[in-house]
Amino acid sequence: MLNNKGFDLWADGYNKAVGLSEEENTYPFAGYKNLLAAIYKNVLKKEKPDVLDIGFGTGTLTAKLYGMGCNIYGQDFSQRMIELAREKMPDAHLYQGDFSQGIVKPLLETSYDFIIATYSLHHLTDDEKVVFIKNLKGLLKEDGTIFIGDVAFLTREELETCRREAGSAWDKDEIYFVADELQETFPEMEFTRISYCAGILSFKK
């Protein structure tokens, strides 16, 4: 599992690496652009919303939302990722902090129209994901929504098929979302498939 220093080293080459996997339609980033675009479109249905991005990385998605007038808040543990994102969003409220330890204090003081997390929460175990999502729900405004976009599958069987096909490219340290298993805890959760290995999970308060 990459720690914050690992992500610091990956930061400058991140967009290129993602772009290659996305263009070749290969695991893990097949569908990346469409996934970000779908979340972007949903968030912009609201005017000037308050948006919290967990693991915002270089700010690929949030910088676009920022450019459209959204109030951007975020947490990431990589100093370098934060620097790159801050260049694009000088007035955003960006904080350094490890989300496996929870949300940093200043971000707990606001309620959000949207909480988004793309390709970041697969660093939590399945049990940690449940606790984390429950905590995030508490940070939503009454009509708010959480969008988690990631390597994700409807069933464990689909995940296993992808694992077999990916072979040595499969990242054994990452723990991907399986929608029908998560739905046992969050029956209201919706799953939108974006590619054979990506999807968006959405949760209301």
Ligand X SMILES: C[S@@+](CC[C@H](N)C(=O)[O-])C[C@H]1O[C@@H](n2cnc3c(N)ncnc32)[C@H](O)[C@@H]1O
Give Cα separations from 53 to 25, 63, 147, 156, 168 (angstroms): 25, 11, 10, 27, 31
In whole angstroms, the minimum distance from the beta carbon of 140 to ligand X comes to 19
Among 22, 76, 113, 158, which residue sits at the site for ligand X (rule: CB under 6 A)? 76
Is 7 a binding residue for ligand X by CB under 6 A? The answer is: yes
Neighbours of 109 (CB within 10 A): 8
In whole angstroms, the minimum distance from the beta carbon of 23 to ligand X comes to 15
Structure tokens given for 80: 């370098």
Neighbours of 205 (CB within 10 A): 15
Among 27, 112, 119, 177, which residue sits at the site for ligand X (rule: CB under 6 A)? 119
Stretch in the footprint of ligand X (CB under 6 A) among 40-48, 65-73, 112-120, 184-192: 112-120
Among 49, 118, 129, 176, which residue sits at the site for ligand X (rule: CB under 6 A)? 118
Is 120 a binding residue for ligand X by CB under 6 A? The answer is: yes
DSSP string, 115-158: EEEES-GGGS-HHHHHHHHHHHHTTEEEEEEEEEEEEEESSHHH
Among 30, 66, 123, 133, which residue sits at the site for ligand X (rule: CB under 6 A)? 123
Is 178 a binding residue for ligand X by CB under 6 A? The answer is: no
The alpha carbon of residue 189 and the mean position of all alpha carbons in its chain are separated, in whole angstroms, by 16
Give the CB-side neighbour count of residue 27, counting CA atoms within 13 A: 22
In whole angstroms, the minimum distance from the beta carbon of 157 to ligand X comes to 25
Is 66 a binding residue for ligand X by CB under 6 A? The answer is: no
How many amino acids of this chain bind ligand X (CB under 6 A)?
Answer: 17
In whole angstroms, the minimum distance from the beta carbon of 59 to ligand X comes to 8
For residues 36 and 117, what is the distance between their CA atoms, to the nearest angstrom?
10
State the residue number with the nearest CB to ligand X: 57
Residue that is written with structure tokens 């046992």 in the block: 184
- Cα diameter, the chain: 44
| Interface residues toward ligand X, by CB under 6 A | 7, 55-57, 60-61, 76-78, 81, 98-100, 118-120, 123
